[in-house]
Structure 1
Amino acid sequence: MIFATVGTQLPFRRMLHALDDWAGSNPGVPVLAQTGDGQCAFHHMETVEHLGQREFRQRFKAAKLIVAHAGMGTILSAAELGKPIVLMPRRSEFGEHRNDHQLDTAQEMMRLSNVTVANDAEALHETLDWYARYAFEVEMMPIQPDGAKLEPLLDVIRTFVWGGHEEQQQVSSNNAARSL
């Protein structure tokens, strides 16, 4: 199953329509999409506006592939659970967000082995076709809850978020270490 999520803040019709179109050409692949609102009808995939935290986690774990906006919570969940994820960043030019920070996030997160970026419908279709050829059996190794193993991922995220502000990175590192 493909599980798609648009996050909790904004709808993301461009991604959802592209996924629905692909699902129409691939009726044997179940697709569940968390849409965030009920403003659009989709014809080739199962949709739900919102999921509670527990059900969201269950659907996420059951999926063979995640398709999502470039939100950090979704990216980290995919890394933690060893799920491949296809990111389609929201674009300000299409009114999907107030700026293009998701493009930057997606570019940085491509360093992770489980992340693929599709910037438009055509790229999303090509990426999903590739996964379908391998029967969605391209699972990644989950990140272990051992702080040393999480450190490379945290370093990438800190560098991206804090942009070289070493003092803030150190505070963030100390807080992260206390929470592990």
Structure 2
Amino acid sequence: MIFVTLGTFDMPFNRLLEYVDKLIESGKIVEEVIVQAGFTKYNSNNFKIIDFLSNEEIEQYYNNSSFIISHGGTGSLMLGVKKGKKVIGVPRLAKYGEHNNDHQIEIINLLKEQNFILSAFDYDELSMAIDKIQYFEPKKYVSKTQVIIDFISDYIDSF
């Protein structure tokens, strides 16, 4: 199963769902596809669309997916990265009315440069990323939270 998440931003992201529809119709995607669409209204006979999910339900879909196709929201991308999942990030773009600005490009480029995710900015790139995903080995995420906690604790203990 492939999980596609568009997040909860209140602007539509039909472009990504059109790409996924086309990839299914061409036979490039053959797995079941589940979409968390948020405020995006889209109809397809090729995949199941759920508007909103609880955090627990999203975690379950992430855990059970072979890979995730995600908008460029930090929370959605990092959930996949932290779980060690294969993720393709597709940014919402201002020029298509999908967001107010293009900050998602920066987030996706940064995570791609560090080998945490693959990226796609258009249909052809998404098609190529689908081809690469089975061989892609994402970099393992290592949390620095404990380092920060230890630093603060040591600082407090020094008084």
Q: TM-score range by the shorter chain?
A: 0.7 to 0.9
Letter in 2 for 1:69: H
**Of 143, 151, 154, the match for 1:150:** 143
> Match of 1:69?
71
When the two structures are aligned, how many residues end up with a matched partner?
A: 149
User: Deviations for 1:81-125, whole angstroms, at most 9, x for unmatched residues?
Assistant: 100110111111111111111111111111232311100011112
Contact in 1 for aligned 2:115/2:139 (Cα 8 Å): no
Instruction: Call closer, same or farther: CA 1:175–1:102 in 2, change over 3 Å.
Output: farther
Please say if 1:97 is aligned against 2:90: no
> Match of 1:84?
86
**Of 47, 50, 56, the match for 1:48:** 50
> Match of 1:13?
14
> Match of 1:28?
30
The 1-side partners of 2:149 and 2:143 are apart by 14
Letter in 2 for 1:2: I
Contact in 1 for aligned 2:36/2:51 (Cα 8 Å): yes
Structure 2 residues not aligned, in runs of 5+:
153-159
Contact in 2 for aligned 1:23/1:31 (Cα 8 Å): no
Q: Report the CA distance between 1:129 and its aligned residue.
A: 2.9
Contact in 1 for aligned 2:4/2:69 (Cα 8 Å): yes
Secondary structure at the counterpart of residue 44 of structure 1? coil
Instruction: Call closer, same or farther: CA 1:177–1:83 in 2, change over 3 Å.
Output: farther
Contact in 2 for aligned 1:79/1:114 (Cα 8 Å): yes
Q: Report the CA distance between 1:61 and its aligned residue.
A: 0.8
Structure 1 residues not aligned, in runs of 5+:
144-148, 155-172
Structure-2-length-normalised TM-score: 0.81
